[in-house]
Structure 1
Amino acid sequence: MSPEARSKVMSRIRGKDTAPERVLASLLEPHGILWEAHVRSLPGRPDFVFAEQKVAVFVDGDFWHGWRFPLWRHKLQEKWAAKIAANRERDRKNHRRLRRLGWTVIRIWEHQLKKAPEACRERVLHALDTPYL
C-alpha cells in the first residue's frame, strides 16, 4: 500500500464513539445508568466514566491496543510495532495512575464485546454494584 493510501485509511480510524463503544453503551442504556465519556481530567481519558462509583472503563481495539501482541508483533513493520508497543505501555501507566487515585479500572477488549457482550455488561454492572435487570 502506498504511503498516501495508508494515510487515507489511517485518517478514517476514530478515537471516540467507536463501534465497540457504541455496543457497550447500548448494553448499559436500558439500565438507566448515566456516564461521562472521555473525561480529559482522568489519566487515559477513559471511554466510560462513572464518577460517583469511581469506575473507569476502557473499550480497547484488539489491534491498536495489542491483544496478544507478542504473538503477532513479528508480522508488523517496525514503525507499527513500536506504535502498538507504545500504546500498550501508555495503557499500563494510565491503569496504574487511575488505581493510585482510587479508581476501579475495567478494560474490555473488542473481541470480548463481539463474543460475549452480556458478560461485558455484567462486568461493568458488577463494578458499579448495580442490580441486573
Structure 2
Amino acid sequence: MTGRPKASSPAVREQMQRQRRRDTGPERLLRGEIWSRGLRYRIDFPIIDRRRRHDIVFTRAKVVVDVRGCFWHGCSDHGTIPKSNWERWSEKLEANRRRDADTVHKLEEAGWLTLVVWEHDDLVAAADEVEALVRSRPENIESQRSTVLNRKEVQLWQSMW
C-alpha cells in the first residue's frame, strides 16, 4: 500500500476529514471530571516519540490515560469494519491495534502505567480509577508535598538548604 488510498466517495472523504485527533467529546468530559478533583495533567503529550501522543499525561506520577474510540482502535464490543473498501480498512484498523499494543509495551518498559478508557466507558468511574492510580504512585511527589506544605513553606524550606 503506497500513499493514502482515495476515499470511496466525497461524503466519506468529508466525514474522515472532520474526525478529531484530540479534544473528542469523551476526552473532554473525562478531563473535566479529573480536573474537578484537583488533579493536573498535560494533554496531547508525547512520551516515547513525537508521533505517539497521549490524551492525558501525569508526568510526575508517570501515568498515561488514553481515551480510545471504538471504531479507530478496534473495540471488541463496538468496533466495526466498513463494508466499502473492507480490505484496506481491515489492514488499517489492525495496524492501529498493533501500534496501541506496542505503545503500551514501550511505556511499561520506560516505567509508565497506562490506563485505557474506551469512549463507551462510564467516565465518572474512569475518573475514579485515574484518581486512585495517580494518587497511589510514589513518584507523585508534587501532590504529596502539597498536602503537607503550602507554597510559601516549600520556598522557605528550599531557601534553608
**TM (normalized to structure 1)?**
0.86
Alpha-carbon distance in 2 for matches of 1:24, 1:90: 23
Alpha-carbon distance in 2 for matches of 1:5, 1:87: 23
Q: Which secondary structure does the structure 2 equivalent of 1:46 belong to?
A: strand
- Residue number in structure 2 paired with 1:66: 74
1:1-133 matches, cutoff 5 A: 2-43=8-49, 44-68=52-76, 72-73=80-81, 77-112=86-121, 116-129=122-135
* Shift in alpha-carbon separation, 1:102–1:3, aligned structure 2, 3 A: same
Residue by residue, what CA displacement relative to the aligned partner does 1:77-118 show, whole Å, maximum 9, x if unpaired? 111111111110000000000000000100000011xxx222
> Which ranges in structure 1 are unaligned for 5 or more consecutive residues?
none
Q: Which moved more, 1:72-81 or 1:57-66?
A: 72-81
- Runs of 4 or more above 3 Å deviation: 71-76
Contact kept in structure 1, 2:39 and 2:131, CA below 8 Å: no
**TM (normalized to structure 2)?**
0.72
* Shift in alpha-carbon separation, 1:74–1:36, aligned structure 2, 3 A: closer
Higher RCO (C-alpha under 8 Å, 6+ residues apart): 1
Percent of aligned positions that are identical: 33
**Of the two, which has the highest radius of gyration?**
2
RMSD after superposition: 2.3
Q: Which secondary structure does the structure 1 equivalent of 2:54 belong to?
A: coil
Aligned length: 127
Residue by residue, what CA displacement relative to the aligned partner does 1:47-106 show, whole Å, maximum 9, x if unpaired? 00000000001000011100017x855956111111111110000000000000000100
* Shift in alpha-carbon separation, 1:2–1:83, aligned structure 2, 3 A: closer
